[in-house]
Amino acid sequence: MVEPVKKEPAEDTELRDGKNAAGDAASAPETGTPAEKSPEDIAREEEQRAQMVQQLTTVDGWMERLHDPALGGVGLAFLKAAGSVLKREDIDFDMKPSAGYHSFIYPPKPGQDSFSNYVLYGAEALENAERLMGARTHEFVHALQYQTAAALHADPFNAATNIMVSPYDYLLRKERLEQDAYVKGAWLCALAAADAPDIVKVMESSPLPVSTFQNIRAQSADLTDAFEKAARDCRNLLGVWTKDAEKTVIADDWHARAIDEYERMMKYRHDNLQAGETLTFVRMDGADILEIGASFGPNTFVADAHNKSLTEIENLSPAHAQKIAEIEKKYSIAPRASLPTLSEAFAAAGTTRADFIAMAARAAIGISDAA
Q: Does 343 reside within a domain?
A: yes
Give the three-class secondary structure for 257: helix
Beta carbons of 339 and 282 less than 8 angstroms apart: yes
For residue 98, the model assigns a pLDDT of 86
Distance CA 138, CA 188 (A): 9
Closest by Cα among 207, 203, 206 to 235: 207
Beta carbons of 113 and 14 less than 8 angstroms apart: no
According to DSSP, residue 9 is labeled S
- Residue 68's contacts (CB-CB under 8 Å, 6 or more residues apart) are 74, 187, 191, 223
Torsion region of 54: left, alpha or beta (phi above 0 gives left; psi -120 to 50 gives alpha): alpha
Q: Does 7 reside within a domain?
A: yes
Q: What is the pLDDT along the chain (371 residues), one digit of tens a residue?
A: 565 544 333 233 332 332 332 222 222 223 345 567 888 888 888 888 888 889 999 999 999 999 999 999 999 999 999 999 999 999 888 887 889 999 988 877 777 778 888 999 998 888 899 999 999 999 999 999 999 999 999 999 998 889 999 999 999 999 999 999 999 999 999 999 999 999 999 999 899 999 999 999 999 999 999 999 999 999 998 888 777 778 889 999 999 999 999 999 999 999 888 888 899 999 999 999 999 999 999 999 987 888 889 999 999 999 999 999 999 999 999 999 999 999 999 999 899 999 998 876 654 333 332 32
Residue 313 sits at the vertex; the CA angle it makes with 312 and 316, to the nearest 5 degrees, is 140
Q: Does 371 reside within a domain?
A: no
Q: Does 102 reside within a domain?
A: yes
Residue 205 sits at the vertex; the CA angle it makes with 204 and 210, to the nearest 5 degrees, is 35
Distance CA 169, CA 188 (A): 28
Q: Does 260 reside within a domain?
A: yes
Q: Does 367 reside within a domain?
A: no
Q: Does 370 reside within a domain?
A: no
Give the containing element (helix H, strand E) for 240. Answer: none
Taking each helix axis from N to C end, the angle separating 223-235 and 167-192, rounded to the nearest 10 degrees, works out to: 120
Distance CA 170, CA 262 (A): 7
Question: What is the greatest pairwise CA distance in the chain?
Answer: 59
Beta carbons of 228 and 302 less than 8 angstroms apart: yes
Q: What are phi and psi of 162, to 5 degrees?
A: -105, 10
Q: Does 92 reside within a domain?
A: yes
Q: What is the CA radius of gyration of the chain?
A: 20
pTM confidence score: 0.87
Closest by Cα among 123, 130, 136, 126 to 200: 130
Give the three-class secondary structure for 286: helix
Distance CA 232, CA 236 (A): 7
Domain that holds residue 137: 2-362
Distance CA 259, CA 267 (A): 12
* Tally of domains within the chain: 1
User: Residue 329 burial by CB count (10 A; 0-12/13-18/19+): exposed, middle or buried?
Assistant: exposed
Closest by Cα among 119, 170, 108, 171 to 144: 119
Please state, as a whole number, how many other Cβ atoms lie within 10 Å of the Cβ of residue 222.
Answer: 10
Cis peptide before 107 (omega within 30 of 0): yes
Give the containing element (helix H, strand E) for 73. Answer: strand 72-73
Edge-to-edge strand ranges of the sheet holding 99-106: 12-14, 2-7, 99-106, 115-121, 89-91
